[in-house]
Chains A and B, each alone.
Chain A
Amino acid sequence: MSAEERLRAVWKTPSGWRYWSSVNNSDVGVWYVAATFVFFVFGGVLALLMRVQLAKPGNTVLEAEQYAQVFTVHGSVMMFLFALPIFEAIAVIILPQLLGARDLPFPRLSAFGFWCFVIGGVFLCGSLFFGVAPRGGWFMYPPLTSSYQPDIGADFWLLGFSFIEVSAIAAAIELVVGVLKCRPPGMRLNLMPPYAWYVLVAAAMILFAFPPLIAGSLLLELERAFGWGFFDPRKGGDPLLWQHLFWLFGHPEVYVIFLPSVALLATMLPTVSKRPLVGYGGVVLAAVGIGFLSFGLWVHHMYTTGLPGVSLGLFSAASTAVGLPTAVQFACFVATLLAGKPQRSVPLYFTAAGIVSFVLGGLTGVMVAMAPFDFQAHDTYFIVGHLHFVLIAGAVFPIFGGLYYFFPIATGRQLSQKLGTVACALVFVGFNLTFLPMHLTGLRGMPRRVFTYAAGHGLETPNLVSTVGAFVLALGVLVILFDVLRPKKKQGWSPRNPWGAGTLEWLQAMPGEDWGVRAIPVVTSRYPLWDDPGLVARVDAGEGYLPDAEEGLRETLIVSSVDAKPLQVQRLPGSSFLPMLSAFAVGGFFVFGTYHWWGLALSSLALGAVLICKWLWSGTGAIPEKPAKLAAPGVELPLYASGSGSIGWMGLFIMLLADLTAFASIVFGYFFFWTVHDDFPPRDAVGPGVLWPVTGLALVLAAWGLTLLARRLNRAEVRAGAVVSLGLSAALAAAGAAALLYGPWVTGLKPSQHVYPAVVWVLVAWAALHLAVGVVMLGYCAVRRLTGRMTATYDGELQNTTLYWHFTALTALITVAVIAGFPLAT
């Protein structure tokens, strides 16, 4: 067998029903994109239903209740099942190609995330067909979604989307590590394609933006299922806490949607303009700057809640400040078009339509950033117009452009230039007809989310125009769908690099091979295909890193994150049903939980945990047959890394940051109640005391110390000592968790009585749950050591477990400081 044949055999996609066990990014990415488009069409049909209902005053196509379900599911589907996952979906396909990598660093995690997404999405959308869908709007404000809607609808939303958020965080870990560690040698930070910068920023934002919503959903579900009154003023709760947690997620989330789409613009613009991007530094500044500033905007959704004037001013200032980097990046884009020789193509049309329309939406954004203007426009159709302008122009247009641009990469075929042009015209005209009049409808006083309106207020014409526009827009989408789905066998394969682009994803032959790239090239410029005309031939000849698969294993290259120096050859796991099965089992917890079948839910979760352990056991941490291998002529690289140099450690570190953010959101809740209440903790309240929390903390810290000791003993080849230390650590951790839980138990704190005991219980339970996971991890390490699957040198599992314990010790410390320490201080 030649090197090429070996490589092809190793990366071969399974056939028949086993096709669905594939974890290769080129398969998972395509499923992911296809699924998001199915949800997009579903959300679009709901939009059309709403527009039909609103076409004339007093229409009766939908009843009020149905309408509420339809707008809630429309908003939720478009946000959570289209706009966000399409970023992950596109990145899963494009990013490895763009970086000349064989795959992303955790292929099975990508597959797991995809299956979670599909299950959660089908579950939520399905609820609509049984008339039990959520109907509290996509941001689910209590008390509407708690005491006024006690039925199952809101549970679908809270549990369905918590599950999908898990998949978003999985994707974010994958993408951050992918951008930092899976670049081709030589692709230093200054040579990274803008797309990779944007993906890095957006994925990092997910890690800090999503956890507050996960925490908020947990609290709201606890209130709905068990009467813990976090948002119920009768129990000392406050509905505003939900708004804070929701928008702490919700505003950055808008930018998580927007940035990856802008990244598509920054990728397509140099190609369609036939010149390098103008102002690369400015574009990177914009990506990073927006990533940070967008976390200071959340209260601009809450201007009318009666917060102090200085607070409103602060968020108004940040909301205008974020316009600065946005303007810089769009100036760079326009300059690229002006300085280049734009070629007529569908990607160019969608790019231009996106830039023009987004700027308009951005300007109305600056208007609503001004609190006094927002007081007037809040909750009117002006906001509906504004948000669709930024989201459709800022995200959907670039995605449609990207679909035409990248289609050959995924399928080897090109879409039709004619159909694309027609579709772009229809979408652009339909979009403006639909959403431009909404600004007027809103200024004339039409509130959003009403199922009908009265005649005689000047609302009839703009509403009718919007309805007609929506159908024109839908026709445009239909043309795109037809173009995608029509048979293309006769038209032949796309030429290689059909647009004449300069970046690595176009190295791919048409049709593409499952291996991604024949050999990983060394990169010395931002547009390697333009600057090095011989590159394609050299890569085809197998010049570069990892051109072979001698050992019959999937491999990719790991490099240093700043200067992309080759560090390691990473073995990647192959096809497996385990990610899919784990997703179904974990999904069962959320599905059964929705119906409050807690026995089934917990069994399903336990099954999920077992499957995930099996997945880890069989697919990770394998000890290589030799310490190093030749990755390229004269370059020998290790086959294994543990500790902070390994991608597993890095992925776990990133996940723990997200986890800590969720915990911080609950702590924020505690101090939020302290701020808004005159006495919190209430003067007459019995807290969890000091004795048991402090005892629990002492046990946890001892367990942490023993974990560190186990790591040291293992490194020193003291096997028995390491295993005993791990066992002792697990026992102390279990005792610590029990002591933490015993504190509020023995003092008789009843979480359903008041928000104070409720928040104490949540904090304690959070810590205890993390300790329980820590115990499993310690046991896993002990078994791996005893069975010889972990050694003194190959100790990745123990290094990762130690990292987990750093975070868990910190969580316990903060928990005890808050529940036992803070009441003493007040």
Chain B
Amino acid sequence: MSTPGLASIAAPLLVWAGHFVFSYAVAAVVCAKSAPVGGLRGAIALATALALALVARQGASAWSKHVRGAEPHDAPNDEGRARFVGHLVALCAALSGVAVVYSAAVFLVVRSCE
């Protein structure tokens, strides 16, 4: 179940999920408890920087596995599988990065709980 192959594919998207849940929970609590919204944007900025750094690292590491070697992605051997998974993880990291930026952009545009 928790083999490196499957866990690494899920990892970048889990970072997006963590960022999303954090943003949602912080916004919900701050707005419900009438706390100052200023702190909210700081917290989101920090979480966003952290999330982007994480997916960038995952993506770069996966991409380096993908460019190593010359076997095609559908080669029936370890190298083919490793290159394919590297490629897939890099794509997932890119998608996660874009999705994190989408979430963070909301806090730039919407500045109140109204």
A interface residues (Cβ-Cβ under 8 A, vs B): 180, 186, 188-191, 280-282, 284-285, 288-289, 291-293, 295-296, 308-311, 313-314, 316-318, 320-321, 324-325, 523-526, 560-563, 644, 650, 653, 675-676
Contact = CB atoms under 8 A, between A and B. Distances in A.
B95 A280 contact: no
A291 B1 CA distance: 18
B48 interface: no
A280 B74 contact: yes
Nearest to A289: B95
B9 to A, nearest CB: 6
Contact of A314 (B13, B24, B112): B24
B31 interface: yes
A190 B106 contact: no
A223 B32 CA distance: 25
Contacts of A561: 1, 3, 5-6
User: Which of A190, A296, A309, A523 has the most B CB atoms < 10 Å from its CB?
Assistant: A190
Chain B interface bracket (under 10, 10 to 19, 20 to 34, 35 or more): 35 or more
Nearest to B40: A310
A186 B31 CA distance: 53
Interface in B71-114: 73-76, 78, 80-81, 83-85, 87-88, 91-92, 95, 98-99, 102-103, 105-107, 109-110, 112-114
B16 interface: yes
B88 A309 contact: no
A16 to B, nearest CB: 41
Contact of B102 (A281, A291, A321): A321
Contacts of A324: 95, 98-99
A316 B73 CA distance: 35
B58 to A, nearest CB: 14
A186 B98 contact: no
Contacts of B85: 189-190
Contacts of B14: 292
Given A525-B76, A562-B3, A314 B103 contact: yes
B73 A309 contact: no
Given A292-B13, A314-B23, A314-B24, A191 B88 contact: no
B81 to A, nearest CB: 4
Interface of B: 1, 3-6, 9-10, 13-14, 16-17, 20, 23-24, 27-29, 31-33, 40, 73-76, 78, 80-81, 83-85, 87-88, 91-92, 95, 98-99, 102-103, 105-107, 109-110, 112-114
Contacts of B91: 281-282, 285
A188 B32 CA distance: 49
Contacts, number: 130
Given A296-B20, A650-B1, A314 B88 contact: no
7 contacts: A190-B74, A296-B16, A310-B27, A311-B27, A314-B27, A525-B74, A562-B4
A308 B17 CA distance: 20
Nearest to B27: A310
Q: From DSSP, what is the main secondary structure of chain A's interface residues?
A: helix
A285 B27 CA distance: 30
B31 to A, nearest CB: 4
B43 to A, nearest CB: 12
Given A561-B1, A675-B29, A293 B99 contact: yes
Given A292-B13, A675-B29, A317 B114 contact: no
B20 A308 contact: no
Contacts of A190: 73-75, 80-81, 83-85
Contact of A288 (B13, B33, B76, B106): B13
Contact of B9 (A288, A314, A316): A288
Nearest to B33: A675
Contacts of B3: 560-562
Nearest to A309: B110
Nearest to B103: A317
A459 B4 CA distance: 57
The 4 closest A-B pairs by CB, nearest first: A190-B84, A313-B106, A292-B13, A562-B5
Contacts of B110: 309-310, 313
A313 B114 CA distance: 11
Given A288-B88, A292-B16, 19 more contacts: A180-B1, A186-B76, A188-B81, A190-B81, A190-B83, A285-B88, A289-B92, A289-B95, A308-B114, A310-B27, A310-B107, A311-B28, A313-B106, A313-B109, A324-B98, A561-B1, A562-B81, A563-B78, A650-B1
Please indicate which of the listed interface residues A289, A310, A320, A563 has the most CB atoms of chain B within 10 Å of its own CB. A310
A313 B41 CA distance: 14
Nearest to A282: B91
A11 B56 CA distance: 51
A171 to B, nearest CB: 18
A676 B32 contact: yes
Given A188-B81, A308-B27, A285 B76 contact: no
A550 B4 CA distance: 37
A308 to B, nearest CB: 4
Given A281-B87, A318-B102, A191 B5 contact: no
A321 B29 CA distance: 24
Contact of B81 (A189, A288, A309): A189
Contacts of A320: 102
Contacts of A282: 91
Contact of A189 (B10, B24, B84): B84
A238 to B, nearest CB: 12
Given A289-B95, A295-B17, A318-B99, A309 B114 contact: yes
Contacts of A526: 74
B73 A281 contact: yes
B64 to A, nearest CB: 17
Nearest to A295: B17
A293 B113 CA distance: 24
Contacts of A292: 10, 13-14, 16-17
A524 B74 CA distance: 9
B102 A317 contact: yes
Nearest to B66: A281
A345 B50 CA distance: 51
A311 B31 contact: yes
B24 A311 contact: yes
A524 B72 CA distance: 13
Contacts of A524: 76
A280 B85 CA distance: 12
Nearest to A284: B88
A285 B95 contact: yes
B15 to A, nearest CB: 10
B106 A317 contact: yes
Contacts of B6: 180, 189, 561-562
Contact of B113 (A309, A318, A675): A309
B66 to A, nearest CB: 10
A296 B76 contact: no
A202 to B, nearest CB: 15
B102 A308 contact: no
A293 B76 contact: no
A284 B81 CA distance: 14
Nearest to A526: B74
B17 A281 contact: no
Contact of A188 (B17, B23, B76): B76
Contacts of B40: 310
A296 B113 contact: no
B1 A308 contact: no
Nearest to B9: A288
Contacts of A180: 1, 6
Contacts of A296: 16-17, 20
A289 B12 CA distance: 10
A768 to B, nearest CB: 29
A525 B72 CA distance: 11
Contacts of B75: 190
A79 B3 CA distance: 34
Given A525-B74, A562-B5, A325 B20 contact: no
Nearest to A200: B6
